[in-house]
Structures are given as structure tokens and as C-alpha cells.
């Protein structure tokens, strides 16, 4: 059995805790590797090494740090297929989807190549007599990232690139369910010229995470995962005086207006609802058609499309639409939630519970599932299912559809399909959600904007990537300086004396 290692000071290091977690191939249900779960003492030693390496890295000029990013980007491109395969093997997503996972992370690496400009401070000449003011952005020191299973490349890259290019040292704790891609990426960073010790990978569970949260050297915590854990980590990090940004779960709604292009809306729902088996924080899990006629049409169009979906292992070819859920626990939970939807009175139009695939009987596959007549009191509506389950909630009017969307405790992403500019504009302006799509189902902003939800989808300040990430990973220092040579008695500045 393959034993995955920590990555410390530029080297693979075996775990010493004696505790391990199984890493599955979700398509076959077999355990393919074991990953060590670090003790608090192991975490503290790794953080101490990062603290030793950080000052010299911070003293390296920003252009050189940006060059490491340039080389890193090149290596990611060269290794795209290997990285994608490592993701598919542990997560189960299709290869095109896995390449997209790497690509969306790579775009943030590319953004960070502009670090010399992004890290520039501000300057005011002669803010008072003989007085100049300037600000500079300095790294926090050692920072840590705790990342989820569902984007094994993209989210680690969203944390690694801005933190490192700003001069921090990073301790990354990837998901114990999909740890390999993060390790590969950090090794590529070393190859790109990152000095030993500046970026370490530690594997673990709550014990390792708590050790990072309580370690006084760690100055910043970037977390992405489920809402309860995000809220817990934010609270503990903040109580310990750390800067923290913790991104949580989602329940994304898409409103379909009667004037929308129904075929385009149905195509969009199919991809956004079932792609990656629904395991995306920006997946659409709730469709809100406006009017009974729109709802009837949409249910029909979705049903005919669902029949064409190809579910299978990533090895079955590039035309597979989605793969298995990534763990047995998710598989059991998703099937249980589908049953609860039936018990609580929703109309089950497509049932994915009995889906099986010859040769992959032990894989964690769930077929596409569609519910109609879902109401907000049902568990399938309240819970983030994180599976290939789409719920249709019928609304009588645009105002009711907007209210349903806004009453959700989550606020990550949302979308509207309509041909009417006024409605679209009103929606974008009023909805209390962080990322909005207009005739666009998964509105993940490009790398030079920023990514972040509202309400229970994010805790802490500033978004991920883009200019916000540079702000999160740096402290601003402002200097007020006075030189006396040009000041006349009485305090007035004598410009002539400077000639
Ligand atoms: P998770 O919360 O179970 O785990 C995330 C990380 O937290 C992992 O590294 C895990 O080891 C660690 N962790 C788990 N339990 C912990 C505990 N009790 N104490 C300390 N650390 C703990 O999430 P997941 O299942 O890996 O990922 C799926 C979730 O992530 C979904 O809710 C999804 O919506 C969310 N997500 C959000 C975003 C976003 O940007 N908002 C992006 C991707 C995924």
C-alpha cells in the first residue's frame, strides 16, 4: 500500500504519529493509499522550519519571487495531464474537469506574476511642511491553508500563489481525501526555484488543524471547506489573534424567467447541477422557475437531457459527464437525503439511488436525480447535498423567486436566465449573494477579480485571489517622514532651499 508523505524542508518526510487515513479510488471503492495524520508536535516542528526560511524569502525582491511564479506556471502547464490524472484518481472527476481544476488555479498563478506591481505601496509627496507619507505591503510571516477535497489543485493554488509571492512562508494542509495533487504542486514550486522550507505540506485531520490554529507563529489562516468547519476555524483563529478568511458551503439558486431561452437554461442547469457529481461550491442545486408553465417546460427539458448523461469512471473516456462521489460517507449521505426528499413529499422525477455500473459495483456512483415541487422546509432544500441532485422550487413571480434566493442562509453564487435587461439588472443589484451570473450558470470570476460568498458561505474579511488576496497576505505599514533641511523657521516649507 502506498504511503503518502509530508513535504518538509524540500523533502518527503514520513509521518510519525502512527495514525493514517485511507485514500480511496472512488470509482472502484478500493483503498489505494494511506495518508499520515500529523500530531500537534509534528505541525509545530514544520511551522518552526517555515519560520526560519521565511525572512530570507521575504528579503528576495518581488521580481525574483514573481519569476518563481513564472517558472511554476510553465511547469504546471508541462505537467497538466499528470496533475489532472492524480486528481481524477483520488476525487473521481472526469479528466476534462480535472484539467479545468488545474487551469483555474493556474490563472491565479499567472495573476501573481504581476506581484512587483501588486505589492507596490503608495506615496504622498509633501503631505505637510517637509513631510512625506508612504505605505508598504509587508508579508504576514508564516501562514497556513486548510483546503477541501473537491478542488485538489485550484484551491491550494489560490492559497499558494498569492501568499508566497507576497513573501510569506506557507504551511498547506490539503484534504486527507485528495492529498496527492497538492504535494505534486509544491514539488513543482521547489523545481521552479522556491527555497527549501518556504512551502511545506502537512497532512492531517482536526488535531493538525487545531495545532495550526493555536500555533503562535502562524499569522494567517486561509480555509475552504464546509460551513460548520469554516465557522469553527474562523472563531478559533480570530480568538488566537490571527488574520483569517474561511470560505464555507453553498446552496446556489438559479432563477429561470418565462422569457429565458429555455434550451440554453436547461443545458446550463445540466452542467451546473450534475457536473463533478454536484461536488462544486458553485454548483447550482436549486432551480427556481417563475410560473407553472416555465416549471413544467423546464422539468420536461431537464428529464430529456438527464437521459443522455453519461456517468462513469474517468478512465471511460473524455465524453463521460461526471464520475462517482468522492467517498463512501458522501455516497451514503446523498442517498439518504434523496430518500428524505421522497418521505417529505417532493416529486422525484429522476432517481439516481439505484444506479450501478458493470465492473464498478463498489464505486460511489449516484445517478442524476431531479426533484420537483421542493419546498424550503424540506431537508433536501436546507442541506448542502453536494451530490448530483437538482431540486426545482416553483415560484409564482420574480419577486417570490428573488425572496427564496435571498432567504437562503448561504450566499456563494446565484444565476438568472432571462431575456430582459431590467430584470437581470434588478437581480444583480438586489440579491444578497457574492457572485452573480446573468445567463451564466457558474459565475466564478476571472483571476483578476476576486472570489467570495456572502452570509454563511464566508467568514472573515476579503475574498480569495485577485487584489483581495494580496491585501489578505500582506500587512500595510505607513511611514510619515520629515526632513528638516527645507523647513524655514515657523514651519513653512521652503521649496527654493531645495533647488
Ligand atoms: P470539510 O469542511 O469536511 O473539510 C475541509 C478541510 O477541513 C479539510 O482539509 C479537512 O481535513 C478539514 N477538517 C475537516 N473537519 C475538521 C474539523 N473538525 N476540525 C478541523 N479541520 C477539519 O469540507 P470538504 O468536504 O473537504 O469540502 C466540501 C465543502 O467545501 C463543501 O461544503 C463546499 O461547498 C465547500 N467549498 C467551498 C468553497 C468556497 O470557496 N466557498 C470552495 C470549495 C468547496
How many A from CA of 153 to the centre of ligand 1?
14
Q: What average pLDDT does the segment 261-278 reach?
A: 98
Q: What is the pLDDT of residues 153-203, one digit of tens each?
A: 999 999 999 999 999 999 999 999 999 999 999 999 999 999 999 999 999
Q: What average pLDDT does the segment 354-362 reach?
A: 95
How many A from CA of 147 to the centre of ligand 1?
6
Best residue for ligand 1 mutational test, from 92, 212, 223, 226 (most atoms within 8 Å of Cβ): 226
Q: What average pLDDT does the segment 373-395 reach?
A: 98
Q: What average pLDDT does the segment 108-122 reach?
A: 97
Residue 487 confidence (pLDDT) above 80 = no
> pLDDT-based confidence at 130, cuts 50/70/90?
confident
Q: How far is CA 41 from CA 9, 16, 238, 438, in A?
A: 16, 10, 22, 49
C-alpha cell of 136?
508598504
How many A from CA of 127 to the centre of ligand 1?
47
Residue 493 confidence (pLDDT) above 90 = no
pLDDT (0 to 100) of residue 85: 98
C-alpha cell of 424?
437581470
> pLDDT-based confidence at 372, cuts 50/70/90?
very high
Element (H, E) at 163: helix 154-165
Q: How far is CA 176 from CA 148, 172, 205, 309, in A?
A: 9, 12, 7, 30
pLDDT (0 to 100) of residue 129: 87
Residue 219 confidence (pLDDT) above 90 = yes
Residue 439: CA count within 13 A, CB half-sphere: 13
Residue/partner pairs of 10-13 with CB below 8 Å, 24 or more apart: 10/190, 10/196, 10/197, 11/196
Q: How far is CA 482 from CA 193, 285, 424, 493, in A?
A: 40, 59, 53, 11
Kindly list the protein residues whose Cβ atom lies closer than 6 A to any atom of ligand 1.
146-151, 155, 173, 175-176, 205-206, 209, 224-226, 229, 247-250, 281, 384, 386, 412, 453, 457
Average confidence score pLDDT of the chain: 96
Q: How far is CA 499 from CA 130, 227, 295, in A?
A: 14, 62, 77
pLDDT (0 to 100) of residue 488: 62
> What is the spatial distance between Cα 283 and Cα 368, in angstroms, rounded to a whole number?
14
Measured by CA distance, the residue closest to atom 28 of ligand 1 is 225
Q: What average pLDDT does the segment 120-145 reach?
A: 96
Q: How far is CA 495 from CA 125, 479, 492, in A?
A: 13, 22, 9
Q: Is 486 helix (H, G, I), strand (E, B) or coil?
A: coil
Taking only Cα atoms into account, the Rg of the chain, rounded to an integer number of angstroms, comes to 25
Q: What are phi and psi of 151, to 5 degrees?
A: -130, 80
Q: What average pLDDT does the segment 107-129 reach?
A: 96
Residue 489 confidence (pLDDT) above 70 = no
- Alpha carbon 393 to its chain centroid, in Å, reads 27
Residue 189: CA count within 13 A, CB half-sphere: 32
Residue 465 confidence (pLDDT) above 60 = yes
> pLDDT-based confidence at 103, cuts 50/70/90?
very high
Residue 490 confidence (pLDDT) above 80 = no
Strand-pairing partners, residue 136, are 477
> What is the spatial distance between Cα 339 and Cα 117, in angstroms, rounded to a whole number?
54
Residue 499 confidence (pLDDT) above 60 = no
Strands 410-411 and 454-455, how do they pair?
Answer: antiparallel
Q: Which atom of ligand 1 is nearest to the CA of 147?
A: 9
Known active-site residue 281: yes
Best residue for ligand 1 mutational test, from 24, 91, 148, 413 (most atoms within 8 Å of Cβ): 148
Amino acid at each position: 500500500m502506498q504511503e503518502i508523505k509530508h513535504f518538509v524542508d524540500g523533502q518527503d518526510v514520513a509521518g510519525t504519529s502512527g495514525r493514517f487515513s485511507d485514500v480511496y479510488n472512488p470509482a472502484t471503492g478500493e483503498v489505494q493509499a494511506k495518508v499520515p495524520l500529523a500530531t500537534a508536535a509534528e505541525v509545530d516542528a514544520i511551522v518552526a522550519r517555515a519560520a526560519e526560511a521565511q525572512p530570507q524569502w521575504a528579503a528576495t525582491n518581488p521580481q525574483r519571487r514573481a519569476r518563481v511564479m513564472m517558472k511554476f506556471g510553465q511547469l504546471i502547464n508541462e505537467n497538466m495531464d499528470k496533475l489532472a490524472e492524480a486528481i481524477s484518481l483520488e476525487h473521481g472527476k472526469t479528466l476534462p474537469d480535472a484539467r479545468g481544476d488545474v487551469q483555474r488555479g493556474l490563472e491565479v498563478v499567472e495573476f501573481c506574476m504581476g506581484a512587483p506591481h501588486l505589492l507596490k505601496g503608495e506615496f504622498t509627496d509633501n503631505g505637510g511642511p517637509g513631510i512625506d507619507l508612504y505605505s508598504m505591503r509587508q508579508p504576514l510571516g508564516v501562514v497556513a491553508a486548510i483546503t477541501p477535497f473537491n478542488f485538489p489543485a485550484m484551491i491550494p493554488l489560490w492559497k499558494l500563489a498569492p501568499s508566497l509571492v507576497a513573501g510569506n512562508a506557507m504551511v498547506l494542509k490539503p484534504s486527507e481525501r485528495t492529498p496527492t495533487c497538492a504535494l505534486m504542486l509544491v514539488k513543482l514550486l521547489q523545481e521552479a526555484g522556491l527555497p527549501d522550507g518556504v512551502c511545506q505540506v502537512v497532512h492531517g485531520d482536526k488535531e493538525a488543524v487545531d495545532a495550526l490554529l493555536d500555533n503562535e507563529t502562524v499569522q494567517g489562516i486561509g480555509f475552504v471547506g464546509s460551513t460548520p468547519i469554516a465557522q469553527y476555524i474562523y472563531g478559533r483563529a480570530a480568538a488566537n489573534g490571527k488574520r483569517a478568511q474561511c470560505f464555507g458551503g453553498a446552496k446556489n439558486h438559479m432563477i429561470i424567467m418565462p422569457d429565458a431561452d429555455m434550451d440554453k437554461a436547461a443545458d446550463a442547469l445540466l452542467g451546473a447541477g450534475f457536473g463533478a457529481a454536484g461536488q462544486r461550491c458553485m454548483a447550482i442545486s436549486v432551480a427556481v422557475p417563475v410560473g407553472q408553465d416555465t416549471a413544467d417546460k423546464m422539468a420536461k427539458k431537464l428529464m430529456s437531457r438527464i437521459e443522455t448523461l453519461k456517468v462513469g469512471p474517468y478512465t471511460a473516456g473524455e465524453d463521460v459527464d461526471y464520475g462517482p462521489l468522492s467517498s463512501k460517507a458522501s455516497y451514503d449521505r446523498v442517498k439518504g437525503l434523496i430518500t428524505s426528499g421522497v418521505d417529505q413529499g417532493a416529486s422525484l422525477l429522476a432517481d439516481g439511488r439505484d444506479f450501478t455500473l458493470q465492473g464498478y459495483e463498489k464505486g460511489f456512483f449516484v445517478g442524476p436525480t431531479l426533484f420537483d415541487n421542493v419546498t424550503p422546509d424540506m431537508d433536501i432544500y436546507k442541506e448542502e447535498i453536494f451530490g448530483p441532485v437538482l431540486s426545482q422550487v416553483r415560484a409564482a413571480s420574480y419577486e417570490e423567486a428573488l425572496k427564496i434566493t435571498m432567504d437562503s442562509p448561504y450566499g456563494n453564487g446565484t444565476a438568472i436566465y432571462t431575456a430582459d435587461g431590467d430584470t437581470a439588472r434588478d437581480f444583480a443589484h438586489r440579491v444578497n449573494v457574492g457572485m452573480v451570473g446573468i445567463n451564466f450558470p457558474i459565475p466564478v470570476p476571472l483571476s483578476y477579480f476576486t472570489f467570495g460568498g456572502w452570509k454563511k458561505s464566508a467568514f472573515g474579511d476579503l475574498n480569495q485571489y485577485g487584489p483581495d488576496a494580496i491585501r489578505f497576505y500582506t500587512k500595510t505599514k505607513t511611514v510619515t517622514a520629515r526632513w528638516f533641511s527645507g523647513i524655514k523657521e515657523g514651519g513653512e516649507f521652503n521649496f527654493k532651499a531645495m533647488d
